[in-house]
Amino acid sequence: MNTQLGYLGWLWERAGRRLDKALCAVHSRSANIGFPLSPSDRRMRALRNIHKGGRAFIIGNGPSLKASDLEQLRSEITFACNKIYLLFDQTSWRPTYYNVEDDLVAKQNAAAIDQVAGMTRFFHNGFEKWLRADEQTIWYRVDDFPIPFPGFSIDPVARCVWGGSVTYINLQLAAYMGITDIYLVGIDFNFKEPNKRSGYYLINANEVNHFSTNYRKPGELWNPPLIDVQLQAMRFCREFCKARGINIYNATRGGCLEVFERVNLDELTSSKWEDRVRLAAND
């Protein structure tokens, strides 16, 4: 009897997964032909080319990131993620867009993430069981482990493409919004992994990978960083975007990401840089 109930439960779970996949396919196809079905899809559609020809900064949470860097970006379009809110008490800056794509970040920090408000928030649609939505929340679908890999979505209403990090999702969102100059900040791309694991997951010990030593508590689980996967995706992204007139630069202070051309953050946010851009446009 118990075996039979177990088998029925397995069938029910499998049917649920197939139904969920079918519904995602319906949403994706509808969005692809210009008819987004859900309020979330319609919010995403409204962002298409909203910043056409503009520039934006995609912010990581590496140890090089400082609150003073964020202060320089108060008037800029910015994408931030995960536990960036730990710096909110040190700066008046707030991101234009906020994103959580990592399942463990969402599950283990749901209460704190729910307090991040006043901006457009992007959440992986699998996190609806943990995170609450408001009128500025957009749930997006992700093509996990796409075949062939890597890929890059030109229409996040239908889907985003997984690339090993939330930064890769933010790159797709920025491109979709029409941004032509994208600058990466605080993406050090250098991880020191703890020695202990719980199955696939890493068990945090001493926090050295982020801007705060309190970013992860001792014992907190985290997903392995998959550096090789991220590198492959980033290289693909660089060429994909370049072919479409989208430039990506690395304005991180130091770090190990050498896929993109390096630029100086302080120069980018100075009046001298703005004057230089204006002069170039008038030539």
Predicted pLDDT of residue 272: 47
> How far is the C-alpha of 260 from the C-alpha of 111, rounded, in Å?
35
> How far is the C-alpha of 166 from the C-alpha of 132, rounded, in Å?
19
For the chain, give the percent of residues with pLDDT over 90: 79
Predicted pLDDT of residue 276: 47
In single-letter form, the type of residue at position 188 comes to D
Give the dihedral of Cα atoms 211, 214, 215, 219; nearest 10 deg: 140
Q: What is the pLDDT of residues 212-225, one digit of tens each?
A: 999 999 999 999 99
| Mean pLDDT, residues 245-265 | 98
Model confidence at 144, pLDDT cuts 50, 70, 90, reads confident
Model confidence at 271, pLDDT cuts 50, 70, 90, reads low
Q: What is the pLDDT of residues 110-128, one digit of tens each?
A: 999 999 999 999 999 999 9
> How far is the C-alpha of 181 from the C-alpha of 249, rounded, in Å?
8
| E strand spans, 20-96 | 55-59, 77-81
| Mean pLDDT, residues 79-96 | 98
Distances (CA, A) of 165 to 9, 12, 146, 157: 33, 32, 14, 19
pLDDT at 30 over 90: no
For the chain, what percentages of helix, strand and coil (3-state, to nearest 5) are there?
Answer: 40, 15, 45
Mean pLDDT over the full length of the chain: 90
> How far is the C-alpha of 40 from the C-alpha of 16, rounded, in Å?
22
Q: Where are the domains of the chain?
A: 36-282
> How far is the C-alpha of 24 from the C-alpha of 7, rounded, in Å?
26
| Mean pLDDT, residues 202-211 | 96
Q: What angle do CA 63, 67, 73 make, to 5 degrees?
A: 110
Predicted pLDDT of residue 146: 84
| Mean pLDDT, residues 198-214 | 96
**Other CB atoms closer than 10 Å to residue 83's CB: what's the count?**
20
Tracing tokens 């809110």 back to the chain, one arrives at 85
| Mean pLDDT, residues 125-139 | 96
Q: How far apart are the first and last CA of the chain?
A: 81
Distances (CA, A) of 127 to 109, 138, 143, 230: 12, 11, 15, 22
CATH for 36-282, options being 3.30.70, 3.40.50, 3.90.1480, 3.30.700: 3.90.1480
Q: Which two tokens stand for residue 138?
A: 């957009």
Q: How many whole angstroms from its chain centre is CA 58?
A: 9
